[in-house]
Structure 1
Amino acid sequence: MEVAEKRAFGLTAAEMEQIKREIDKYKAEISKAKRQRKIVGVIAKHGLGYILNDSSIFRLFRKRNRSPEESEKLQKIGRRMRMVFEDLGPTFIKLGQVLVTRNDILPEEITLELESLLDKVPPIHFDYIKYILETELPEGLDTFESIDAEPIGSASLAQVYRARLKTGEDAAVKVLRPTVEKLFQTDISIIKKWARRLQKQLPVEMAASLDLNELLNDYYGGSMDELNLVREARTMEEHHKIAENRFEWLRGPDVYLATKNVLVMEFIDGWTIKDFPVDFFTFEERLQIMLDLAHYYIESFMNGNYHADAHGSNILICKKTRKAVPIDWGMIGKMDTMHTQAIFRFLMHTRLNQAEDAAECAMDVVMPTIYTDTIKLRDQYRAMFLNYVNSTQGEKYNWGRLVLELINIGMMNYCKIPNGLALWAKAFSATEGTARWICPEVSYHHVVESADTAVMKGVIGRRFNYRANATWITEFVKMFGTMPRRINKILEHFYYNDFRMNMQMRVDKRTENMANQIMNRLALTMIVASIIIATGLIMSNMPDVEFFGLTKAAIASTGLALGLVLGLYLLWRIWRTRKTRSFF
């Protein structure tokens, strides 16, 4: 691999100014109008617009038992979506990676295709990297004794280089691409605009359970955090302390230096979880690594701040220390700890074959809407949990799939899914895959069970923490202290016969839309009937005279034709409404 010494690749003032002008030029060319044309052009190029215009496609999204032909059709859509996302760059690649977690929205055939979404792009010229290092780091290129000119990794957001610091440590240098932030902001504004339009087209039941704008705000808020490497460095240091202080077989990479666009960290020489030689560890050592990783991730999940991309390729086995090292902390997930506690509670009940209790815990995770049949939802959860009692990781009903299926059932019953839950479920599923690679002899079911004590300690600690209960205590004191005065006010109103109750009836959106449709159609029916009746009266009673140059027959024919057109339009609207509702 070519190595470029600092003295050999230092930039002159003229070269620095030239690169700055080129970067500013590239940023100036990124505009909403140009990106919209680019997006539409790429969608048309891959034929995705033509396919999605076929209304029969959307009916397959909610169909459970699909024929082989229908599954193949969805696979083609997924393949075209993947190619579109890859062509449109980092914003859409990240969007595709999140859509992989949303089996509740997209069919499995599409999400499986999106899993192969490539986040590998040709590297930008090394001169641009030198410019960023020179301008971002306090000592510029003098920070390094040497740095490889060829990247060891090149993704849509950043490139990673191997280097040696002046102090002698081997380092991995992560550098953000110079135009990626401007591209993200432009694409996000376009996607949000389209999402608002799509939200208005959703059936009212689905719109109540799925807020696309809220989903995008949550996702892109986290994605923009990935564009700040100081945040990633801080997260790595926090989890490094947790791993090394609590777990024997885990450690994190040291962080040497971080700025907004550059992260200099320890270079880990090792294998990925999928590639390390099995004879490098004994069975007992592999089991201990799996337990430490599982307990570490479960603790992170319980705290609501976790590694959201915990698959085998992001965990290295260090050749020197023989410890597991989680890397790439750019994608961090967050979720309310009350939801995570409810999830681990229904996992405990499932292992004990307490399906009814597990279903009650699941109802604490999802949020039923006015369109949800809660009795049907509870029955479906109860039946699902029975399949996972004493399951093993090699079966169809493995624990990585459990939370994903909980989300799917909730969406099918028009429940609102908490933001971050789908990403949490995907990360939880990835931890099971990691456990399967490290120690396939032991079921993940038993691994999670071994963390029960830590889980219950966390649940009880939060429930009886005085800070968590401060609001409840304050409200109780307020109610108790003001109760005599409130009771006195109520009695005074009764005494003076002045007790009133204001009630306001609110109609849900679905009923309101249905009432509007009925009234519009009744009005249109009356207009059509009036035109036809008037036409008949003209034909039978009016004398044969002309009005504005039109004979009686011409006026009658025009009225009859207008009534016929309006009648056909009325029938078309009724048919179209039924067709739209059948999509979901």
Structure 2
Amino acid sequence: MATQTPREAPAQAGRRLDLSAPWWSSPRWQEEKRRIRGELAALEARITPRRRLRAVIRTLARHGLLRLMQDRRAAAPSAGDASHGRHPHRDPDRRLRQIGRRLRLAFQELGPAFIKLGQVLVTRQELLPDPITAELAQLLDRVPPMPFPYLAVVLDEELPDGLQTFAWIDPEPIGSASLAQVYRAQLRDGRRCAVKVIRPLVDKLFQTDIANIARLARRLQRLLPPAVAASSDLPGLIRDYYSSVQSELDMRIEARNTREGRELVEEFGTLAVPEVYLATRRVLVTEYVDGWNIKDFPVDFFTFEERFERMIDLAHLYIKEFLNGRYHADPHGSNLIVWRHSKKVYVIDWGMVGRMDALHTEAIFRHLLHIRLNQAEDAAEVMLDVFEPTPYTDVGRLKDQLRSLYIRYVDTEQAGPHNWGHLLVEEIRIAMDNHCRIPTGLSLWAKGWSAAEGTARWLCPEISYHTVVESADVQILRRLLARRFNYRANAAWIAEASELVATLPRRLNKILERAAWNDFKLPVEGRLSEQATRNLNRMVNRATLGLISGSFFLGSALLAALGGGALDRIPGLAAVTTTALWGSLGVGVYTVWRVLRSNKA
């Protein structure tokens, strides 16, 4: 190893780099570091908003995404297609999967910001069709790794003792994500560890790309129809995306989240969270868990009772997190490791932590309780406290759709199509269709809940997640009642009531004063229904078309009748006049026919 350069080391899969070897403290390694730093500095200098924008456009064009509208038309089957089997090119799911694949490949090529954007879009299942999100889901754990020497430079710069912190490190990453890579290593004191390292240039790339994405989101927001723009906040979505990624770019925040997670699992005997050994801004060193992914453990490793016990503990942990309003936002199977020595389930990767305010969390759990008791009307009323109706929302229609949805979810089965993970996504889709604003973080909350339910399905398919959540009713009610009767909550209520009592006379006096001076104004906004708007647009278009065709017809007729000399002197004028005359006559006849056909004469 003393003569092996780090450039060669990553190709040696499964081999450990002995960091105590003389090479890593030799002048050759220092020269290699200077070369890598110079290469990274040159790359960083070329990262500018204009260059990145041109690169984005070229990449999207190369993957055919600029023809996305054409793909959308091709995805819609014609009315005469009785079967997609005869016309596979018209299969909408197949076309959507192709679009999703193009998006995934383009995002992978464009780098961390776009890969992370694709991962965020996976959590917003109400915005994209399922075939597209299924393709984008591959971005969660299938990101090509970066060569180890570039990460070794980061380790050498960030850690107090540099690479000498470790006795050895495996150059083959055990995990590769959009922002960081994870390596297996051993500390000098003999403890095995997992080393998570932020990729070089990620911060600069992210800041540059997010500026372009935010500018594009603002322009798209202005182009949206008024009803869609009222319920969609694309700039707000980008701001949430920016803030979430900013926290993931600082390993000290993930270290704090991991320590808080260790405190959460202390009451559960079958669960654990890795210990944090060391954390800097770009490097996190934690305890290494030797075991299997929860989807891959041997069939005979757990008894049924042990699987059921771990399922109960995981479900109660998630419920406890959700009630706290601060939860592990990505509890899928890849982030749950079964330790082969103690059979404990370790919850890892606390980089993405979601947040939900107390009022919305309480409302969601209350509506789940109403659904289980077959109280669809009450559940719909509760969800109106979560979704924010806009002036374009038909509240009656929204409640009817929610009630119809809840009836199908009274008795849920985790293996069936009607389980709670699907319920939350369906609710968000219904709210979007009815032009409601969705609270920040609700989609991530729904994704976390759905992932928790999927984990339960893998761990113990014999027991319904519905039944497991019912076993936590006492915990849920105790937390909700404690929050409702908490003295701080009551103190806040008293402060609000006192503010109302103190300001009410002054506000009433202002209203009466304006009424006395005849200065009382009541703004009234008149809106047409979508059907009325379409009819009005159609009428205006026909009137405009008739006016234009009449003008052309009149002008052509006058020119033909009075401009005989000009017609002879100017070549081609006679043909133009004849064409305009008959063309305007045809357009006029077509307009009259459409008016008569629609009974709007």
TM-score range, shorter chain: 0.7 to 0.9
Cα offset for 1:181? Answer: 1.5
Q: Tell me the amino acid that sits aligned with residue 190 of structure 2.
A: G
Distance 1:176 1:218 in 2: 21
Aligned to 1:159: 181
Distance 1:356 1:325 in 2: 40
Aligned to 1:110: 132
Q: Which of 286, 294, 299 is residue 315 of structure 2 equivalent to? A: 294
Cα offset for 1:295? Answer: 0.9
Cα offset for 1:230? Answer: 0.8
Any conservation in 2 of the 1:172–1:266 contact (CA below 8 Å)?
A: yes
Any conservation in 1 of the 2:278–2:286 contact (CA below 8 Å)?
A: yes
Distance 2:195 2:498 in 1: 55
Cα offset for 1:381? Answer: 1.1
Q: SS of 1:168's equivalent? A: coil
Cα offset for 1:566? Answer: 13
CA spacing shift, 1:15–1:108, aligned 2, 3 Å: closer
Q: Tell me the amino acid that sits aligned with residue 339 of structure 2.
A: C
Where does structure 2 lack aligned partners over 5 or more consecutive residues?
A: 1-13, 86-90, 595-601
1:447-486 CA-to-partner distances (Å, cap 9, x unmatched) read 1111112222222333333444555433321332344555
Q: Which of 494, 506, 514 is residue 473 of structure 1 equivalent to? A: 494
Aligned to 1:50: 67
Distance 1:119 1:369 in 2: 38
Q: Is the aligned partner of 1:373 residue 2:394?
A: yes
Alignment of 1:57-456 (within 5 A): 69-117=91-139, 119-244=141-266, 246-456=267-477
Aligned to 1:10: 25
Aligned to 1:579: none
Distance 2:330 2:319 in 1: 14
Q: Tell me the amino acid that sits aligned with residue 49 of structure 1.
A: L
Where does structure 1 lack aligned partners over 5 or more consecutive residues?
A: 575-584
Q: Tell me the amino acid that sits aligned with residue 292 of structure 2.
A: W
CA spacing shift, 1:517–1:348, aligned 2, 3 Å: same
Q: SS of 1:116's equivalent? A: helix
CA spacing shift, 1:488–1:327, aligned 2, 3 Å: closer
Distance 1:21 1:219 in 2: 31
Distance 2:380 2:360 in 1: 14
CA spacing shift, 1:556–1:313, aligned 2, 3 Å: closer
Aligned to 1:578: none
Q: Which of 496, 500, 503 is residue 519 of structure 2 equivalent to? A: 500
Q: Tell me the amino acid that sits aligned with residue 25 of structure 2.
A: G
CA spacing shift, 1:538–1:502, aligned 2, 3 Å: same
Q: Tell me the amino acid that sits aligned with residue 463 of structure 1.
A: R
Distance 1:36 1:341 in 2: 43
Any conservation in 1 of the 2:336–2:347 contact (CA below 8 Å)?
A: yes
Q: Tell me the amino acid that sits aligned with residue 484 of structure 2.
A: R
Q: Which of 20, 33, 54 is residue 37 of structure 2 equivalent to? A: 20
Any conservation in 1 of the 2:552–2:581 contact (CA below 8 Å)?
A: no
Cα offset for 1:296? Answer: 0.8
CA spacing shift, 1:28–1:453, aligned 2, 3 Å: same
Any conservation in 2 of the 1:544–1:552 contact (CA below 8 Å)?
A: no
Any conservation in 2 of the 1:312–1:434 contact (CA below 8 Å)?
A: yes
Identity between Structure 1 and Structure 2 (%): 48
Distance 1:186 1:295 in 2: 41
Distance 1:20 1:553 in 2: 72
Cα offset for 1:149? Answer: 3.1
Cα offset for 1:327? Answer: 0.5
Any conservation in 2 of the 1:538–1:552 contact (CA below 8 Å)?
A: no
1:31-81 CA-to-partner distances (Å, cap 9, x unmatched) read 333333333333333333324335525868xxxx99672232222222322
- Give the TM-score normalised by structure 2: 0.83
CA spacing shift, 1:481–1:98, aligned 2, 3 Å: closer
Q: SS of 2:384's equivalent? A: helix
Q: SS of 2:273's equivalent? A: coil
Any conservation in 2 of the 1:134–1:140 contact (CA below 8 Å)?
A: yes
1:65-109 CA-to-partner distances (Å, cap 9, x unmatched) read 996722322222223222222333322222222222323221222
Larger deviation, residues 312-321 vs 91-100: 91-100
Q: Tell me the amino acid that sits aligned with residue 249 of structure 2.
A: L
Larger deviation, residues 14-23 vs 301-310: 14-23
Alignment of 1:554-565 (within 5 A): 557=577, 560=580, 564=584
Cα offset for 1:184? Answer: 1.6
Larger deviation, residues 437-446 vs 187-196: 187-196
Q: SS of 1:117's equivalent? A: helix
Q: SS of 1:172's equivalent? A: strand
Any conservation in 2 of the 1:48–1:77 contact (CA below 8 Å)?
A: yes
Q: Which one has more relative contact order, counting CA pairs under 8 Å at least 6 apart? A: 1
Cα offset for 1:159? Answer: 1.7
1:368-390 CA-to-partner distances (Å, cap 9, x unmatched) read 22222221221111111111112
- Give the TM-score normalised by structure 1: 0.86
Q: Tell me the amino acid that sits aligned with residue 283 of structure 1.
A: F
Any conservation in 2 of the 1:351–1:390 contact (CA below 8 Å)?
A: yes
CA spacing shift, 1:480–1:31, aligned 2, 3 Å: closer
Distance 1:284 1:94 in 2: 39
Aligned to 2:598: none
CA spacing shift, 1:20–1:566, aligned 2, 3 Å: farther
Q: Tell me the amino acid that sits aligned with residue 557 of structure 1.
A: T
Q: SS of 2:285's equivalent? A: strand
Q: SS of 2:486's equivalent? A: coil
1:13-32 CA-to-partner distances (Å, cap 9, x unmatched) read 44433322121112122233
Any conservation in 2 of the 1:531–1:559 contact (CA below 8 Å)?
A: no
Any conservation in 1 of the 2:553–2:585 contact (CA below 8 Å)?
A: no
Larger deviation, residues 92-101 vs 466-475: 466-475
Cα offset for 1:135? Answer: 1.3
1:413-437 CA-to-partner distances (Å, cap 9, x unmatched) read 2222222222211111111111112
Aligned to 2:3: none
Q: How many residue pairs align between the two structures?
A: 563
Distance 2:585 2:95 in 1: 37
Q: SS of 1:263's equivalent? A: strand
Any conservation in 1 of the 2:75–2:95 contact (CA below 8 Å)?
A: no
CA spacing shift, 1:67–1:370, aligned 2, 3 Å: farther
Any conservation in 2 of the 1:120–1:156 contact (CA below 8 Å)?
A: no
Any conservation in 1 of the 2:20–2:168 contact (CA below 8 Å)?
A: no
Distance 1:484 1:269 in 2: 68
Q: SS of 1:7's equivalent? A: coil
Any conservation in 2 of the 1:160–1:174 contact (CA below 8 Å)?
A: yes
Q: Tell me the amino acid that sits aligned with residue 146 of structure 1.
A: W
Any conservation in 1 of the 2:556–2:581 contact (CA below 8 Å)?
A: no
